């Protein structure tokens, strides 16, 4: 029996996540949305692409949560997107209400699933989903660090004119302006990038990484990024379904790790069949720890607003 992945929200991020998952033949996909016709149309279109791609993934679009029953993983992308001039914080109350509705229905139909949260503001929405679901922390994971690290890796590879395959990068902290890219732990073929570029160049790339989402919003005018966010969610889905034990930066609920208690913050985790199988603590300099604490404080402010 094939794995089943539900994607909540059939907008650009949700539909593109369905596309990546189906094209990699990772699972059968259920695309669900409150808007009638959109998930059905996109699901059917994607299903009709499978003979061309030579993939046997089944895809359905629906408005009925009964169709999502017994999903192995549920990726939640539902919510309003960020518009130009809108901060992630502005999204908070609207997307919290949507999350509340969605998580209740998902838990009812797939009580053993793993939740991957993509909706913004990411860390606060992951915290909300964790509290609403009653799931153990291993089964509620925020997609942030994979995306932010991919942006960091893109800019490093461009700057040094090397293959992206040679570049590893780590970004910790909240998904937003306070994220903490870590040049010390970022390498090109094992060589620390601090050995390959000067501080001014590094600082510029770090800032561009922090502004990665806003830069795309500025170009698009009416919408936000979706190719890279959906690819990031798909990498997490693949690590879980294939039990890869892959170490990826994700938003996880911390119980004292990094000195942070009761909060979703981006850290390196090992992803496998059970979800988060280990939270990996790396040594931080006092400056990096201060930056991570500042990022955690920004997340704390958000969750105070929605009282989770």
Cis peptide before 121 (omega within 30 of 0): yes
Residues sharing a CB contact under 8 Å with residue 222, sequence separation 6 or more, in sequence order: 83, 84
Residue 96 known to be catalytic: no
The single residue of 19, 96, 175, 261 carrying the catalytic annotation is 175
Query: Quick one: residue 120, left, alpha or beta (phi over 0 = left, psi -120 to 50 = alpha)?
Result: beta
Residues sharing a CB contact under 8 Å with residue 197, sequence separation 6 or more, in sequence order: 159, 160, 205
* CA–CA gap between residue 257 and residue 27 (Å, rounded): 33
Query: Quick one: residue 107, left, alpha or beta (phi over 0 = left, psi -120 to 50 = alpha)?
Result: alpha
Tally: H helices and E strands in the chain: 9, 14
Active site residues: 175
């Amino acid at each position: 029996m094939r794995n089943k992945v539900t994607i909540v929200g059939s907008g650009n991020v949700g539909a593109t996540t369905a596309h990546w998952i189906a094209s990699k033949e990772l699972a059968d996909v259920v695309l669900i949305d409150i808007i009638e016709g959109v998930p059905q149309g996109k699901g059917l279109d994607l299903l009709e692409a499978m003979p061309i791609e030579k993939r046997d993934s089944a895809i359905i679009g629906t408005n009925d949560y009964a169709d999502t029953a017994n999903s192995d993983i549920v990726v939640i992308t539902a919510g309003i997107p960020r518009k130009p001039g809108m901060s992630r914080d502005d999204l908070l109350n609207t997307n919290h209400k949507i999350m509340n509705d969605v998580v209740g229905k998902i838990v009812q139909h797939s009580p053993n699933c793993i939740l991957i949260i993509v909706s913004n503001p990411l860390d606060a929405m992951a915290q909300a989903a964790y509290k609403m679901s009653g799931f153990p922390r291993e089964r509620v994971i925020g997609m942030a660090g994979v995306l932010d690290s991919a942006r960091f890796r893109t800019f490093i590879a461009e700057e040094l004119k090397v293959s992206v395959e040679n570049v590893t990068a780590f970004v910790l902290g909240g998904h937003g302006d306070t994220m903490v890219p870590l040049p010390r732990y970022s390498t090109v073929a094992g060589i620390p990038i601090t050995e390959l570029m000067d501080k001014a160049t590094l600082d510029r790339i770090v800032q561009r990484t922090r502004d990665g989402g806003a830069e795309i919003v500025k170009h698009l005018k009416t919408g936000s990024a979706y190719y890279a966010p959906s690819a990031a969610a798909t990498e997490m889905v693949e690590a879980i379904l294939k039990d890869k034990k892959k170490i990826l930066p994700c938003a996880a609920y911390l119980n004292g790790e990094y000195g942070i208690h009761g909060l979703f913050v981006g850290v390196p985790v090992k992803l496998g069949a059970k979800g988060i199988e280990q939270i990996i603590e790396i040594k931080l300099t006092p400056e990096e720890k201060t930056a991570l604490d500042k990022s955690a404080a920004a997340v704390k402010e958000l969750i105070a607003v929605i009282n989770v």
